[in-house]
Amino acid sequence: MKANILLIIIFLLTACSCEKEILSYSKGDIKIEIETGEQWLHDFHLFLGISKKNSPQFAVWIEDTAGNYISTVFVTEKTATEGWIANKGNRRKEALPYWCHQRGVVYDDGLLLPTKENPLPDGITGASPKADKELQISITDFTEPMVIKAEFNHSVDFNDFFPENAQEGDDNYSGGEMGSGQPAIVYAVTIYPNQQQAYLKLIGHSSIDGSDGMVYPDLEKLTTSKSIIKQISTVIIK
Amino acid sequence: MKHLRITVALLLFSVITGKAQNNNRISAEFSGNNICLAYQLNFEKTPVYSSVYVGLGNQDINSKFDDVLFGIKPGMQFISFAKSNIFGHLNAGIYFPNNKYYDAVTPFVGINIGYEKFLGKQKKHSLFIETGYIYGQREYMQIYESDILYVSSTDKFKLFPVIFSLAYGFNF
């Protein structure tokens, strides 16, 4: 019996140390590295004072330099599939409004958010990671400059300027009790085929209540949301 | 995959080769992440036991109770009272997430302690609680391809490390 247990433990430990998945890059591929900041994980209240640490909803996509949307590279599952739990029908349009408007796909209910019935493709939909994330992209015709954009948002990320008790119609209304709090933040960088490395810059925040697709450059009222991300870099493999 | 087959074979072997006393147990165990059915054999003249279990879990991306797990818990009763006991065991098994985004079959190991309270004179029924730590994680890759773009990314599936479960047992 003891020998059996010992063998089981040895084999399980061997199996646990499974090989690491490594992205293999070719010349011209673009590596996007998202480094998480201090506020990447945010407390989400469940019940009886119990909270869980949530990672943010986010989307990464590419556009041309004229601001035309080309393709989504990655989007978190809840946004991509209407995968919210106990949301009482709230589609959370304030989560990633800039990405939604840039993408411009209108669904049956008039919102720009993917639905359970029409989610985004599986390959670019994933769990919101608990730590840094790396994406490898290869663009078929990368001869002209392109813009990489990313939008991040926590729900219930309230502060003094975007409080929980703001009422619909107020300038700082972000979706109510289960809303966004601080609005989504947007990063962008233009990359060139002959470039090697670039960093996405914080260019502003999205609509507070998700009602438009603008980027607002005023960042003074944002507090913790500016620390969701430490850094996002792109490297073009030579 | 080879590791998995060997592991499964060993798990079954260790239970089948155990010699049982009369008081074995079938139990249903509930926690926030798993619902399991377990069969426990108590080894003759010792406080040692081994149980196998199979269940459903909700720990992958879709949070539905549609993942499958199974494993083994070899352990022993540390302290026995007339109507209760305190036990501890190792916990080892395999977790199969079930979703359309990734395939990340994840072996896990852990250690649990628990308290069992027998009900009735014949001690046929019992309630018990278990708590412990579990470790299991697995990296996976996702790929997307369209006319203009190829995207690949990696991520990690990790089991929630803390276990706290309530259970009912039928002893026979």
Query: How confident is the model over B53-91, as pLDDT tens digits?
Result: 999 999 999 889 999 999 999 999 999 998 999 999 999
Pick the residue from chain B with its C-alpha nearest to A20: B139
A71 contacts on B by Cβ (under 8 Å): 146, 148-149
Specify the amino acid at residue A95.
Answer: A
Listed residue (B153, B151, B113) closest to B132, CA to CA: B113
What pLDDT, on the 0 to 100 scale, is given for residue A2? 58
Q: How many domains does chain A have?
A: 1
Please answer yes or no on whether A126 and B74 come within 8 Å at the CB atom: no
- What is the pTM assigned to this prediction? 0.83
CA–CA min distance A126, chain B (Å): 7
Instruction: Give me the count of residues in chain A.
Output: 238
Mean pLDDT of chain B: 88
CA–CA min distance A53, chain B (Å): 12
238 residues of chain A, pLDDT tens digit each? 555 555 555 555 555 555 567 788 888 899 999 999 999 999 888 777 788 889 999 999 999 999 999 999 999 999 999 988 777 788 999 999 999 999 999 999 999 999 999 999 999 999 999 899 999 999 998 999 999 999 999 999 999 999 999 999 999 999 988 899 999 999 999 999 999 999 999 999 999 999 999 999 999 999 999 999 999 999 999 8
Angle at the Cα of B126 from the Cα atoms of B122 and B127, rounded to 5 degrees? 160
Pick the residue from chain B with its C-alpha nearest to A136: B152
B45 contacts on A by Cβ (under 8 Å): none
Q: Is A13 helix (H, G, I), strand (E, B) or coil?
A: helix
Sort A148 into a burial class: Cβ within 10 Å, 0-12 / 13-18 / 19+.
buried
The answer to whether position A117 is within a domain reads: yes
Listed residue (A23, A22, A24, A27) closest to A236, CA to CA: A27
Q: Is B84 on the interface with A (CB under 8 A)?
A: no
Give residues 139 to 158 of B whose Cβ lies within 8 Å of A: 139-156, 158
The answer to whether position A20 is within a domain reads: no
CA dihedral A227, A230, A236, A237 (to 10 degrees): -150
The answer to whether position A66 is within a domain reads: yes
Please answer yes or no on whether A127 and B143 come within 8 Å at the CB atom: no
Pick the residue from chain A with its C-alpha nearest to B51: A5
> Based on C-alpha coordinates, what's the Rg of chain B?
19
B44 contacts on A by Cβ (under 8 Å): none
Domain that holds residue A184: 6-15+25-236
The answer to whether position A133 is within a domain reads: yes
The answer to whether position A211 is within a domain reads: yes
Place of tokens 């139990």: B27
The answer, yes or no, to whether residue B19 has pLDDT greater than 50, is: no
What pLDDT, on the 0 to 100 scale, is given for residue A6? 57
Please answer yes or no on whether B151 and A133 come within 8 Å at the CB atom: no
> Based on C-alpha coordinates, what's the Rg of chain A?
20
The answer to whether position A48 is within a domain reads: yes
The answer to whether position A1 is within a domain reads: no
Number of H helices, E strands in chain B: 1, 10
pLDDT tens-place string over residues B89-131: 999 999 999 999 999 999 999 999 999 999 988 888 999 999 9
The answer to whether position A171 is within a domain reads: yes
What pLDDT, on the 0 to 100 scale, is given for residue B18? 45
A129 contacts on B by Cβ (under 8 Å): 155-156
Q: What one-character DSSP code corresponds to residue A21?
A: P
Smallest Cβ–Cβ distance between A21 and the set B62, B108, B154 belongs to B154
Cα–Cα distance measured from residue A30 to residue B150, given in angstroms and rounded to the nearest whole number: 10
